[in-house]
């Protein structure tokens, strides 16, 4: 936490200094990121060698395909999710660009605001994962279910609250970023409100993804990972604007969230039933 937070704070401080004071522009932003990332790296490497943490020793490095296979199986869903997020942003910019710079700016702002809310869920999910993994490995399946439902309920509550705030204050939120541009405020306010309506659904999508990824169900985890930004969003952002114009751009993400929720609901239901069956078998034995 110290390592990541320190890097983030340094990045925030260095950005305006390098961009504006030293007139470095986007190069200053890049340099700020490099410096902050390197400092975070140094802090994390140092902390990995103290206390009860696992020390990094190159003498323990023994490449084995079995290990790489497990790492890839557990990590590829996250890779797909993040990679498709970047690809989805490219498609979004192309589609919004047809309606001018105001549409691009508005959708970019909305994306950042929603990403802030989603980041809260990712933090909760990453806290849930070790609890889920340890107990699933120890065959304490009842604890896995309790942790999952606790996290889901908490996530839905938090996202519902944030979504309600977004619905009420969306023009004010967009104004913070572009107070002088009424067109950006108009486009962004509607887009943000539409995304806030489906925001609570992300709680189930993200936590289901974390659950299946942690217990080693790579296929299910990959399916849920690619659904929101890849399987549904990319077709939506390519098709809906052709039918509904600018509104199609604004509703693409909510439509994708709704369809992704259906997929996650089916996957989550099946996995939870399997865990319940495992609990019954454990109780009988």
How confident is the model over 166-198, as pLDDT tens digits? 999 999 999 999 888 899 999 999 999 999 999
Average pLDDT over residues 135-140: 94
- Residue 266's pLDDT band, with cuts at 50, 70 and 90, is very high
| DSSP state at residue 53 | S
pLDDT at 178: 85
Whether 166 and 214 map to the same domain: the answer is yes
Q: Quick check: 285 pLDDT over 80?
A: no
Please state, in angstroms and rounded to a whole number, the distance separating the CA atoms of residues 3 and 135: 27
| 29/60: higher pLDDT | 29
Query: For residues 206 and 157, what is the distance between their CA atoms, to the nearest angstrom?
Result: 14
Confidence category of residue 12, pLDDT binned at 50, 70, 90: very high
Same domain, 103 and 213: yes
Instruction: List C-alpha distances in Å: 214 to 40, 46, 52, 53, 223.
Output: 26, 27, 23, 21, 14
Share of the chain above pLDDT 90, in %: 74
User: Do residue 182 and residue 100 come from a single domain?
Assistant: yes
Among residues 108, 85, 104, 110, which one has the least CA distance to residue 198? 110
Instruction: Locate 91 and state its tokens.
Output: 């498609």
pLDDT at residue number 152: 96
Same domain, 123 and 72: yes
Q: What is the mean pLDDT of residues 146-165?
A: 96
Total domains in the chain come to 2
Whose structure tokens read 């399987």?
231
Average pLDDT over residues 23-37: 95
CB atoms within 10 A of CB 71: 10
Same domain? For 151 and 36 the reply is no
The mean pLDDT value for 148-154 works out to 96
pLDDT for residue 57? 82
For range 212-235, the mean pLDDT? 91
62 has a pLDDT exceeding 90: no
* Cα–Cα distance for residue pair 204/118, rounded to 1 Å: 12
Which of 61-65, 113-117, 145-149, 152-156 bottoms out in mean pLDDT, i.e. has the lowest?
61-65
Buried b (16+ CB within 10 A) or exposed e, 229-265: bbbbbbebbeebbeeeebebbbbbbbbbbebbbebbe
Has residue 60 got a pLDDT over 90? no
Residue range(s) defining the domain that contains residue 211:
62-284
Average pLDDT over residues 141-163: 96
pLDDT category of residue 207 using cuts at 50, 70 and 90: very high
CA distances for 179 relative to 101, 102, 176, 245, 268, angstroms: 15, 12, 6, 25, 42
Q: Are residues 84 and 221 in the same domain?
A: yes
pLDDT at position 48 is 86
pLDDT reported for residue 79: 87
229 token code pair: 């930004």
Q: What's the mean pLDDT when you consider all of the chain?
A: 92
* Maximum Cα–Cα distance across the chain: 70
Last residue of a domain, one of 38, 55, 72: 55
Specify whether 161 is located in the same domain as 276: yes
Do residues 43 and 158 share a domain? no
67 shares its domain with 85? yes
Determine if the pTM surpasses 0.75: yes
Mean pLDDT to the nearest integer, 230-257: 95
Average pLDDT over residues 217-224: 91
134 & 181 share domain: yes
Classify 206 as helix, strand or coil.
helix
Q: Give the DSSP letter string of 239-269.
A: HHHHHHTHHHHHHHHHHHHHHHHHHHHHHHH
Residues 145 and 262 in one domain: yes
Say if CB 92 and CB 187 are below 8 A apart: no
Q: Domain check: are 35 and 160 in the same one?
A: no
Q: What is the pLDDT of residues 65-99, one digit of tens each?
A: 988 888 888 888 888 888 888 899 999 999 999 99
Residue that finishes a domain, picked among 9, 24, 55: 55
């Amino acid at each position: 936490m110290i390592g990541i937070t320190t890097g983030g704070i340094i990045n925030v401080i260095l950005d305006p200094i390098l961009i504006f004071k030293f007139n470095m522009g986007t190069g200053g932003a890049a340099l700020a990121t490099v410096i902050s990332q390197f400092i975070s790296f140094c802090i994390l490497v140092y902390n990995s060698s103290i206390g009860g943490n696992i020390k990094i020793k190159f003498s323990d490095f023994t490449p084995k395909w079995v290990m790489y296979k497990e790492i890839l199986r557990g990590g590829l869903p996250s890779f797909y999710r993040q990679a498709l997020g970047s690809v989805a942003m490219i498609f979004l910019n192309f589609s919004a660009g047809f309606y001018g710079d105001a549409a691009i700016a508005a959708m970019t702002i909305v994306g950042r605001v929603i990403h802030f809310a989603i980041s809260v869920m990712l933090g909760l999910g990453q806290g849930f994962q070790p609890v889920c993994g340890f107990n699933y490995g120890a065959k304490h399946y009842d604890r896995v279910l309790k942790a999952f439902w606790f996290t889901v309920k908490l996530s839905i509550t938090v996202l519902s609250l944030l979504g309600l705030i977004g619905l009420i204050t969306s023009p004010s939120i967009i104004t913070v970023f572009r107070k002088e541009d009424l067109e950006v405020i108009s486009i962004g306010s509607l887009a943000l409100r539409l995304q806030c309506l489906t925001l609570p659904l992300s709680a189930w999508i993200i936590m289901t993804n974390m659950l299946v990824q942690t217990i080693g169900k790579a296929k299910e985890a990959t399916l849920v990972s690619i659904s929101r930004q890849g399987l549904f969003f990319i077709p939506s952002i390519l098709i809906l604007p052709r039918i509904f114009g600018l509104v199609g751009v604004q509703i693409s993400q909510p439509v994708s969230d709704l369809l992704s929720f259906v997929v996650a609901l089916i996957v989550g239901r099946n996995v939870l039933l399997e865990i319940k069956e495992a609990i019954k078998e454990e109780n009988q034995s």
